[in-house]
Amino acid sequence: MGKVQILEHPLLQHKLARLRDKNTGVKEFREVVGEIAALMCYEATRNLPTEEVEIETPVSVAKVRVLAGKKLAIVPILRAGLGMVDSMIALIPSAKIGHIGLYRDPETHLPVQYYCKMPPDISERQVFVVDPMLATGGSVVAAIDILKKEYGCKYITLLNILAAPEGVQAVAEAHPDVDIIVTAVDEKLNDHKYIVPGLGDAGDRIFGTK
């Protein structure tokens, strides 16, 4: 089973509380999703390899450390994953972005694919799959299936703001090589497969569609 890292940082927990509050409006919700994604990106990149190089400062030569190793890619699951991309790209501007469009069928709760476009060299990149919500895990498992089977991706980390135990379990079973980074794992799913207590429908709250 991959590592499940729950980020307990006070800033993240405070911001997550803003997302949970039903009185938080679209503008603030969208901004806070971005802020959380930036802090999660900071943690997700903590162990990236670096190498020493020499540069000239205005004063002398300095030995400095710069990122080395695999190039990076961010793959948001549409729609809600889009809310996490801009603030991550601000931190890692050379990352390429792939998109996977999936929505949950309202009756079956199973993911339906409607879009997929990846950078050509995605198989060699360290991929961060991003989606605010990991509920049943159906969408994320399907997205990672596509990345592995159709694009040959080998290095995948999952960033979800909020998860249900069922989703964590589903990813661990289907993709035991994938580490998961979350800010909280909630109690359960309800009969409509929404996370409880959760924060509602992330896509609707980011884009104001309800």
For residue 133, the minimal CB distance to ligand URA (Å) is 4
Separation of alpha carbons 194 and 135, rounded Å: 7
- Say whether residue 40 binds ligand URA (CB under 6 A): no
- Say whether residue 166 binds ligand URA (CB under 6 A): no
Site for ligand URA in 105-164 (CB under 6 A): 133, 135
Q: Which is nearer to ligand PRP, 30 or 193 (CB)?
A: 193
Q: Which is nearer to ligand URA, 133 or 181 (CB)?
A: 133
Single-letter code of the amino acid located at 193: K
- Number of neighbouring beta carbons within 10 Å of residue 41: 24
Separation of alpha carbons 162 and 177, rounded Å: 20
Strands (E), the chain: 4-6, 50-56, 61-67, 72-78, 96-97, 99-104, 111-117, 126-130, 133-134, 155-159, 162-163, 179-182, 184-185, 188-189, 195-196
- Say whether residue 160 binds ligand PRP (CB under 6 A): no
Q: Which of 79, 96, 99, 154 binds ligand PRP (CB under 6 A)?
A: 79
φ, ψ (nearest 5 deg) of residue 12: -65, -40
79: partner contacted, choices ligand PRP, ligand URA, none (Cβ within 5-8 A by kind): ligand PRP
Query: What residues line the site for ligand PRP (CB under 6 A)?
Result: 77-80, 103-104, 109, 111, 131-140, 167, 193, 201-203
Provide the annotated active-site residues.
Answer: 104, 108, 201, 204
